[in-house]
Every structure is written in structure tokens, then in C-alpha cells.
Chains A and B, each alone.
Chain A
Amino acid sequence: MDFLVFQYPMITVQACLDGILLGVLFALIAYGMALQWGVMNIINIAQGDLVILGGYIAYFMYLYGIHPAWGVIVAPVIMYFVGIAIYKLVINKVVDRDLFISILATFGISILFMQLMNFAFGADVVLANSGYGTTMLFDSNVVLPNSKIFSAFISILFAACLVIYMKKSKLGRAIRATAQNARAAKILGVDTEKVYAATFGINAALCGVAGALISITFTIHPYMGLPYTIRSFMIVIVAGLGNLPGVAMSGMGLGVFEEFADYILGTEFRIGSVFLLLVLILVYRRFKLSRKREYLK
């Protein structure tokens, strides 16, 4: 245990800034999850694995001499089609079924992806070096890699673009209509099947962007997917479906929490503390609701 955090205020500043920049990325992934949860009522356990796959796309561009930042453009395009393919093969068969079935089916996809990535890319921890350098703040007491700032900026950009797209475009309106009431939307001539496919594709594309950014700023590994799923699930249940500012805020909050957990408890408990936080949040909400004789649904 290390209480440096309390002795040196600059470490606190460092952890907060790191956490916020990281949290923006989490919020982007959570936004994708909220989107397809709201529209299709499916919890996608493979979310994190889609992120990691997006990361590997950027990493491979880096290996072949292209600057990994271009992965931000390429990864979502590829991941969009991967998402559509997953939808056509699996998800459309579980859309209307019991939620547990969809959880288990996406768990299967998650294991499949994890292992295929392990075969294809090896079990090493990799990162795509962007060569952006670092920024020093406060007499070089706080060190921020420029890649983190870049990734936060790009995440916000993509999220903003998507919000505008959902508001203005025809498909965006169709998606929102389907989320509100799928049957009514169908009656009014919305091809819900297409909307579902597009939603899943957009979700996968967002994951692709986030993955590419993660491969630049942090590291990626085939087995790292599940924590990202859990983080985005947590952010969504804290913020509530369809609450975008809430998603952004709770994403950053989670990022800061993780950085502090890292400093105080030690790196080996970082992932554990995330999962434990999920349990605590769910239990807290359960007790809060049970006072009103309601429950989470």
C-alpha cells in the first residue's frame, strides 16, 4: 500500500488528469453499449473484444509503417462490417429472446474472438507507438503523454459527430424511433431489421475507434476485453439509458476512480477493484430501489 497520493498533491493532480482522459475513452465505449442496449435490448458481452479487435487493426497499420492514428479512420470502417456480420450470424436470432440467452450468446462470441485474436496476433502485450511525445505541466511535476490528449479529443469528436448524426439523419431518427417503440416504428414503415443491423454496426465502429485509440495510448492484449465490457456496462447503469451527459460524467468518474485505485491499492488490484465497484454499485442501487419496493429491471 502506498499513500504517496496524500503526501504529494501533484500525484493527485496527475491521477485526476489521467483518469479524466482515460474516462473519456470509456465513455465512448459505453455510448456504443447504451445505444445498442437501448435499441435492441441486448447486453453485449463481446463489446470489449470488439474494442481489442479495433486496437489490433491500428496496431497492424503501425507494423506496416502507416501512422497508427489513421487507424481511427480505418478501424471503424472495418469494424462496422464486422458488426454487421455478427448481427447477421448471431444477434438477429437472439434479439427478441430472453435476455439471458443474449448474454450467453455474446459471451460465446467473446470467447471466440478472444481466442481467434490470440491465434492471429499472439499473446503478447502490444502497443502502437504514435511518437507524439509528452506535455509537462506544473514545473514538470505532471506528465501527460500527448497521445492521451489526442485520444480524448478524437473520442469527443466522434461522440459529438454521432450525436448530431442521430439527431439529424434519417437513419438516426429511425434508430431513435425503434428504441422508443419497435412495433410502432415497424407499423410506420421503419425496417427494424435494418435499423438493428445498423445499430450493431455503429456500436462496433465506435468500439473500433476506441480500440484504435487504446492501442495508441495504452496497451492491448487478446484477453483484455472483458474489463472494457464491464466498465461500459457499469457506466451505462450508473448514467441510465439515453442520458449522454451522464455517460460522459460517469465515464470520467470511473477513470479517476481507477487511477486512484491503482495508486492506493496497487496495480495488481486495478481490474479487481473495477469489478468490485460494479458489484457495489448494483447492490447500492438495489437497496435504494427496494426502499420504494421496486427493483432493477
Chain B
Amino acid sequence: MNKNNLILYSGILIFGLAAPFLFPAFKVQLSMLCVLIVLATTWNIQGGEMGYNSFGNILFYGLGMYLCASVQVGMFFPLAEWTESGGEKTFVHTPTQFFQGMAAGLLVAAIVPTIVAGLIGYSILGLRGHYFAICTLGLGVAAGEISGGIEIIGAGQGFTTPPFPDVGSLEARGEFFYFLSFFTLILTFIAVRSIYSTRFKLILNAIRDNEDKAEAMGIETMKYKIIGWMISAFFCGLAGGIMGGLVGYIDSTDVAFDGREMGVFMVLMAILGGKGTLWGPIIGATVFHIFKEGFWTFFLGWQYVALGVLIVVIVIYFPEGIMGWLREKYPERFGEVVDEKDRKAQVELK
């Protein structure tokens, strides 16, 4: 790690730690930003690096959300009665119960989606290109529709996650969730960064560029594809669990398995920032979140219209994303050797 990087990372870390105290009004937004960055970054592992464009990571996100909340409730109270009572609080978590439940819930929310990804991975990842995209889209929507029919997790009327316990400070809830999501973000970043510096990333890129050739070179592509997807699922589940607690209410199709919103957002953020780069999804998620919140606030009601237009515009005009554009403009910064003469000659040709 060179000096510039060190300054950059410590700057971001300090900003991240100070942010909830600098902008106390935006704590929820900042926590959501962290979750969105986690989602975009992990989508990028198999969407950008591996070339398997999935609409189905929402499956793991929603699964994590439901699991975290269910474990948090189910550890101390009967789950069925909790969901039946709906908004009326017949049971109250003590602070200890809440935090214990949250920890256990997050653990389950991270591990179970990983196992699910491993189990279905062999079947689903054998599909390629658009078949994979459509199949995962179907998977995400099916999960939403089916969970909307299951009574014990609230069916159509939704599931209220345990409210934050009274610990004496009004700011505690926001700060707790902010730091939770921020540390998840750091964990994700470290994990992804260390993955990207190994042979594993090169294998993923080989699969993206030419899977048949990679297989012919003796790489067990299926194994690596499944591992890549499992890593995605792990962090998606974790992000889902946090988001469930943050939002406070889980609905099958509008919050958890929201393929129309979150499922597309994570793809869009990664594409906006630049697929297949470490920083792309992070920048993309930040820009997207700021844009989205602005739009959601000032043009309430038109947000989905704007979203639709935004998707079309990004996809048609910026398929390479912000990082791709920067790379085009400053190739030296990305470690590409540029022949000055060659470049000039090209400019003259244009």
C-alpha cells in the first residue's frame, strides 16, 4: 500500500466515523448508502468480474432480511403470535435481548443465503448470458410471491421487526444502525479488495472473457462460479438483515424481495460506476443514492418514471460507467502504458 492510498483510506475512515456526528439528520440516509454500496460491490463480484449478470441477488437480500428478523423475534418470543399481532406490541425486547437477537440474526442472515447460493449455484450457474439473467429474475420474483403467501412471516400484511429498545438516548438507534452498516461496509471492502488481489479474481475474469477457453485451460469454472456467487450471497444476506432492522417493517414484495427497486438498483449502481472495477460500484452507489434521494424528495410520485428514464439513459449512453469514462480519459492513472505518438496520431485521424 503506497502513501496516497493510505491517506485516502484513512481520510474515508475518519469521515465515515465522524459522519453521524457531522450530519446527525442524515444518519438513516448514510446507513442506507453503506448498505447500497455493499450491495453494489458484491453484485459486481459476479456481475462485473465474472460476467454473470444476475437480477436475483435480491433473493439473498430478502432472505437475509426475513431470517434476521425471524431469528431476532423467534429467539425470545413465539414467532407466529408476533406476526399475528402485527403493529400492536404485545412483546417488548429488552436491550440485551435485542442486541443478542440482532447478532444471532445477522449471523444466520449471512450464513443461510450463502448455503442457499451454494445449493442452487450448480443448477443456476450452468445457464449462460441472458438465460441466467432471466432465470435469476424469475427466482427473485418467485421468492417474493411465495414468501407473500407464508403465514408465519406475516404473509401479505408484512412483518414488523423488533423496535429498537429504550437505552436512554434518542440518537442511539440511528447511531447503532449507522455503525453496524459502516462496519459491514468496511468488512466488505477489505474482503473484496483482498479477493481482487488474488488469483481468484483472475479466474473470474477469465470466466467472463471466455468461459470455454478457461475451462480448456484446466480451470474448474463451475467451482469458482459457485464460490463467487456464495461470496455475493454472504454480503447480500448481511446487508438485507441490517436493512430490515433499519426500515423496521418487512413486506414480501415491496421491501424484502423488491426486484423492481433494490434488485435493479444494485445492477444499476454497479453499471453507473463501472462494472468490473473495485471503486466503480462505490462511486456509482454514492452518485446514485444522492441522485435518488434528491429525486425522491423533490419529485415525489415521479420517482419511478425518473428511475425508468435513468435506467434507459445509463444503459444506452454510459454502459462503461464513470470508471470506464475516467479510464478512457486518463489511461495513465489506471496503469495503462500510453504511447504519446500513437495517441496523437489517433487524435489526428479523428
Contact = CB atoms under 8 A, between A and B. Distances in A.
B127 A108 contact: no
Interface stretch (B74-82, B310-318, B328-336): B310-318
Interface in A147-162: none
Interface of B is mostly: helix
A108 B306 CA distance: 10
A114 B264 CA distance: 15
Contacts of B139: 275, 279
Nearest to B317: A93
B145 interface: yes
The interface residues of chain A, by DSSP majority, are classed as: helix
Contacts, number: 136
Contacts of A109: 308, 312
Interface in A109-163: 109-116, 118-119
A248 interface: no
B309 A112 contact: yes
A271 interface: yes
Contact of A226 (B141, B156, B305, B309): B141
Given A90-B312, A112-B312, A266 B319 contact: no
A295 B128 contact: yes
Contact of B135 (A43, A98, A105, A282): A282
B305 A116 contact: yes
Interface string A236-270: 01000000000000000000000000000010110
B312 A108 contact: yes
Given A97-B319, A108-B312, A279 B126 contact: no
B131 A296 contact: yes
Given A105-B315, A226-B141, A115 B130 contact: no
B86 interface: no
A116 B305 CA distance: 7
B275 to A, nearest CB: 10
Interface in B219-270: 260, 264, 267-268
- Interface centre among A97, A119, A275, A278, by most chain B C-beta atoms within 10 angstroms, is A275
13 contacts: A43-B130, A93-B316, A98-B319, A104-B267, A107-B264, A107-B311, A111-B304, A115-B304, A116-B305, A119-B301, A237-B131, A268-B145, A297-B129
User: 9 shortest A-B CB distances, which residue pairs?
Assistant: A112-B308, A108-B311, A272-B145, A275-B142, A115-B304, A268-B149, A111-B308, A108-B312, A278-B138
Interface of A: 43, 90, 93-94, 97-101, 103-105, 107-116, 118-119, 226, 230, 233, 237, 266, 268-269, 271-273, 275-276, 278-279, 282-283, 286-287, 290, 295-297
